[in-house]
Chains A and B, each alone.
Chain A
Amino acid sequence: MEKKNRSKISWFIGLLFLTGVLLFIVTKPISSLLAWQSNFLSRCFFVLILCFGMCLLRVMKGPLPADRAVAMNTLGVLIVGFCAVLSVSTGRDWYLDIAIAWALQSFIGALALAKYLEGRGFDE
């Protein structure tokens, strides 16, 4: 009973923290340095940075090595979307080249991590 209550309380605190940060991002006035084209896109930018923070938290406290590998794979997929948002907001198309290259590289990295976790060598 004690443990169940504690997990409920920590879940509630995490939900409050997440909604608080999201409300802060949505309602905060944005300085003119970061508002490249519109306020909407720079707010999307900050929400994606919040997602990066959540993935890095799982990398930091994951109990198993496989958890850390999963979080790194998620981070690699998120960076592709981040590059797309940057490309829309700055109007430069070479960010999408970075996105394509990052997608392929993160795929190869995930396969190598999976082989390492299975305990096999890289040349099998």
Chain B
Amino acid sequence: MNNLQQAIGYIFILSGIALDVFGCAGLIRLKNIYSRLQAMIKCVTLGTCLILIGTFILKGFCSTGMKAMLAVVFLLLTSPVSAHALARAAHKAGNNKI
């Protein structure tokens, strides 16, 4: 593993973890359930995807890196669907105070 590859992978992991921290701070800080859901679904999904892409850059095209890319694909497919289902459930349960 050369030095440049390691540096780029670590930069990706660091930016992903910073996005995770900001998403969780929004989860605590914001007032409404819809704004909390919005903070969570963008920041935390992108942050986790960046951590997995950093893992892929560090490991290269071996089985570990391809597993990381497969996890990215699963996460990008499933996370918006679950967030949409949760928002629809919260709307239908009658909590419409904005």
Measured CA separation A122–B28 after assembly (Å): 30
How many inter-chain residue pairs (CB < 8 Å) link A and B? 151
A77 in contact with B28 (CB, 8 Å): no
* Residues of A25-70 whose CB lies within 8 A of B: 40-41, 44, 47-48, 50-51, 54-55, 57-58, 64-67, 69-70
For this complex, 8 residue pairs linking A to B, each with C-beta atoms less than 8 Å apart, are A69-B86, A74-B27, A78-B20, A84-B52, A88-B54, A88-B58, A96-B71, A110-B85
Chain B residues packing against A (C-beta within 8 Å): 10, 13-14, 16-17, 20-21, 23-25, 27-29, 33, 36-37, 40, 44-45, 47-48, 51-52, 54-55, 58-59, 63-64, 67-68, 70-71, 74-75, 78-79, 81-83, 85-86, 88-90, 92-93, 95
Chain A residues packing against B (C-beta within 8 Å): 11, 14, 18, 22, 40-41, 44, 47-48, 50-51, 54-55, 57-58, 64-67, 69-71, 73-74, 77-78, 80-81, 84-85, 87-88, 93, 96-97, 99-100, 103-104, 106-107, 110-111, 113-115, 117-119
